[in-house]
Structure 1
Amino acid sequence: MAQATRDVVGDILELLGTLTPGQLRRLMRDLPLKYRRELIERWQGWAQAGQCEPPGDWRIWMIRAGRGFGKTRAGAEWISEWARMLPEARIALVAANDADGRRVMIEGPSGLLAVARSDEEPRWREGLRELHFSSGAVATLYSAAAAENLRGPEHHVAWCDELAKWPHGEAAWDNLVMGLRLGDAPRVLITTTPRPTSLMRRIMALPGFEETRGGTNDNAYLPSNFVEAMVASYGGTRLGRQELDGEMLEDVEGALWTRGLIERCRVDADAIGKPARVVIGVDPPATAHGDACGIVVAALLRDGRLAVVEDASVEAPPPHVWAQAVAGAAARWGADRVVAESNMGGDMVASTLAQADLALPVVPVHASIGKARRAEPVALAYERGQVVHAGAFAALEDQLCGLQVGGGYAGPGRSPDRADACVWALAALLEGLRKRKAPGVTRI
């Protein structure tokens, strides 16, 4: 919104706030219908501080807030105002997936159709994935899960919803901002409940970034019994601080890995030398087009340390694709074996890998009985300085920091595919070291 328009609206609303109830009733009674409707439908008169566009020459505005704060309403109102002010506007709406975008951003109770004024008739065109505003502005809905669709289109402004849960966040964000090049001052609004992902931290460190905050308690329009129940159940807990108060908590409570620990274990990839032994950990997807396939390469170094040297994971691949990715990693690093989670069936995993001409031994592990037992000694090896990361592996490290004591997971995505694969590989190398150091039996 232009600064001059915002200032005038603010002055009018401030003046109205000084009137007594009687004066306000008389004013509203004497105003023509057009102006009464305008005052009632003016978002600035109802918005909370954290929902209002910040002043200044910013490029990225993030509303980082808890559930029920009113993030969606603020995003929909901001986009609607741009559509009124700029009839030629081309707008990007980016959600985690198509279903969330339509259900929340377009058709939800606080979405773009719901916040339209009484004299506006925006039309949703399902086949085009476009919302056509009365002014002529057009908003296109994109899914972060299909990041390539953002490659090419140009936009004046964008609204990104729940960025912290985007499945292909880095690629979707990069493609989006490269297309924000229409008009004099392209801008993007992010509305999200925070999670400590690498993309969130990266965006928050960018120049031209502004942030407003808020929590569930700040929304005076929520039912009081709902707020009381949420505070009673989650107030003061880690989950409550994140989901209700909108705090971005860097380390998961009870996490086996912390970000500080991983940073202390990081070394330059060129400094590790030729490994003495290499193992590949694999966490196959449960279905042909399910989650990612975790593929992590770990090595025993000549000095006795272990190193994570590559994250070769692939997203939602069919079996032949992830098998080829494993075979490729094995060839690059000269691996001597593959350790694979076999909940989908040990024979099936071995058969799939054999079809990719992978002749290495495949050692099956069973997550249901072994995940926590294997992860905890691996985390302890990090604490001892026995494991290093040869480079940076953002997606893998986000997942490692979500693994908890006892086998729980509170990181990004539904399943820690990459982290599990990493644990399998490192656990196998640790087991090999343990056996090598075990005392032998001398026959007399």
Structure 2
Amino acid sequence: MDTTFKLTPIQNQAAQLFLGHAREFLLVGGSRSGKSFVIVHQQLRMAQQYPGSRHIIARYRFSHAKNSIWLDTLKKVTRVCFPDEKFTWRNTDFYLQLENGSQLWIAGLDDKDRTEKILGMEFLTVFLNEASQISYEAYTTIKTRLAQKVDGAQPLLFVDANPPSKKHWMYRVFVEHTDPESNTNLLPTRYAMLKMNPDQNLENISTEYLDTLNSLPLRKRKRFRDGEFADDSEGALWTDDLLNGTRICRNPDGTLPVALKRIVIAIDPAVSSKDTSDETGIIVAGIGFDNHLYVIDDATGQYSPTEWARKAVALYNHYRADRIIGEVNNGGDLIEAVLRNVDAKISYRSVHATRDKLTRAEPIAAIYEQGKAHHINELLELELEMTTWEAQKGKRSPNRIDALVWAATDLCLRLGAISGQAKFHFRQKPNLKQSRLLQTGQKRLPTQNG
């Protein structure tokens, strides 16, 4: 290790915390505060100290882990802190190997095949990066891989995040020391937490970036600059209690727990596909024979037009959906053209908003309040947007919420579950064959999880 390199005072405080008696550590705070850097630094120190040890950095989406960790943070830490170490970069399997045989792996929890491969190994340390996007189920599952036995070493788990709602499992576990599922008490000495904010990392960030953080709306400023966990937004249409109260889980084999008579894929496309672009909202939802709304999947992400079209068509085929719905305020006929270039046989309908976002969202929120809307398993990123979007007329809503509202409106308007106040117009006639199938009450069998 380069003896000339110095951690910032707050990073040094984190490094000292890692040497204590706790076994799970949460570094929470504002953006660009050096959280990920000091955790990766600690993992590589342990990799050097314990030959043949294995370590892993996991994020919800592999593409984000690759771009932010593999191509950025990991490069910086190895170059600045370990200039004399000879690393071998395995760019096919995405792991870093040291001369002593230790390895540091990169994983995305959205890649089923890769996740299963990695979960077949045991690790000395696990780092859950940007854990606000990671479900409690994923957290508890990957903890089971913290099982590599190395003489003289204790397995450690690291978590970092810009803090979300106080209802998130991170707050429940690391602050309240309570199991989110059973509400039983956890052993406090196992957990340690440290807040790190950007004003404690001034030597590594620009004043322009701080100015950007200071100019954010209050709620975002508290999260991304001040590193504070948030209560449910006072202006939000949804709360955590509302979503958790009607949640249902998939069957143990991954199939859906209800039979659905109609399924749609809703797309709210981003205007562009640059790294700084908005995400394209992609939501899968269905209507049950009880006329309840079931939100099945959230495949939102940063995609090129071809990528989101392929993702939507893959979900359409996987769930045997009745239709893909595309919001065309920005994309016009391009959306249908891109989708049909992937699969010309899909059933597609374009929709165009005639009311503001709040007016369209309110009747959908009312269905949740009536207990007639259910999320299947945790849809963490979608739910975070739903409980933090401060709904106001004319105010922009996140892409996940927009896609959810389009899917729910199509399903519920069709069955009379909501009134016509959430107006939009269709540019195609309904598929009569599918409409007749609905009238006959033909059941759709539960499908496998993708």
How would you bin the TM-score normalised by the shorter chain?
0.5 to 0.7
Q: Deviations over 1:156-207 (max 9, x none)?
A: 11223223356xx678656633322102632221222233495656765555
Q: Distance in 1 between matches of 2:349 and 2:7?
A: 61
SS state of the match for residue 80, structure 2? coil
Match of residue 314 from structure 2: 321
AA aligned to 1:183 is: K
Using the size of structure 1 for normalisation, the TM-score is 0.65
Q: 2:265 aligns with which of 259, 282, 286?
A: 282
SS state of the match for residue 195, structure 2? strand
5 Å matches for 1:59-74? 59-74=23-38
Q: CA deviation at 1:230?
A: 4.9
Match of residue 287 from structure 2: 298
Match of residue 161 from structure 2: 192
Q: 1:102 aligns with which of 54, 70, 73?
A: 70
SS state of the match for residue 372, structure 2? strand
Residue 87 to residue 233, structure 1, CA distance change in 2 (3 Å): same
Whether the 8 Å contact between 2:10 and 2:200 is mirrored in structure 1 is: no
AA aligned to 1:142 is: A
Matched, 1:400 2:364: no
Using the size of structure 2 for normalisation, the TM-score is 0.64
Residue 428 to residue 244, structure 1, CA distance change in 2 (3 Å): farther
AA aligned to 1:421 is: A
Q: 1:239 aligns with which of 205, 215, 220?
A: 220
Match of residue 107 from structure 2: 142
Residue 126 to residue 268, structure 1, CA distance change in 2 (3 Å): closer
SS state of the match for residue 47, structure 1? helix
Whether the 8 Å contact between 1:147 and 1:175 is mirrored in structure 2 is: no
Q: Deviations over 1:313-341 (max 9, x none)?
A: 6676545533334536x7xxxxxxx6834
Percent of aligned positions that are identical: 16
Residue 312 to residue 244, structure 1, CA distance change in 2 (3 Å): closer
AA aligned to 2:265 is: V
Residue 209 to residue 367, structure 1, CA distance change in 2 (3 Å): farther
5 Å matches for 1:216-255? 216-219=198-201, 221=203, 225-226=207-208, 229-230=211-212, 232-234=214-216, 237-252=218-233, 254-255=235-236
Match of residue 48 from structure 2: 84
AA aligned to 2:129 is: D
SS state of the match for residue 400, structure 1? helix
Q: Distance in 2 between matches of 1:242 and 1:364?
A: 36
Match of residue 13 from structure 2: 49
Matched, 1:120 2:121: no
Q: Distance in 2 between matches of 1:434 and 1:67?
A: 42
Residue 363 to residue 161, structure 1, CA distance change in 2 (3 Å): closer
Q: Distance in 2 between matches of 1:294 and 1:258?
A: 19
AA aligned to 2:266 is: D
Match of residue 176 from structure 1: 142
Match of residue 440 from structure 2: none
RMSD value over aligned CA atoms? 4.6
Match of residue 409 from structure 1: 397
AA aligned to 1:189 is: F
Whether the 8 Å contact between 2:295 and 2:376 is mirrored in structure 1 is: no
Structure 1 stretch displaced more, 183-192 or 69-78:
183-192
Residue 203 to residue 285, structure 1, CA distance change in 2 (3 Å): farther
Q: 1:258 aligns with which of 239, 245, 251?
A: 239
Q: Distance in 1 between matches of 2:205 and 2:341?
A: 56
Q: CA deviation at 1:238?
A: 0.9
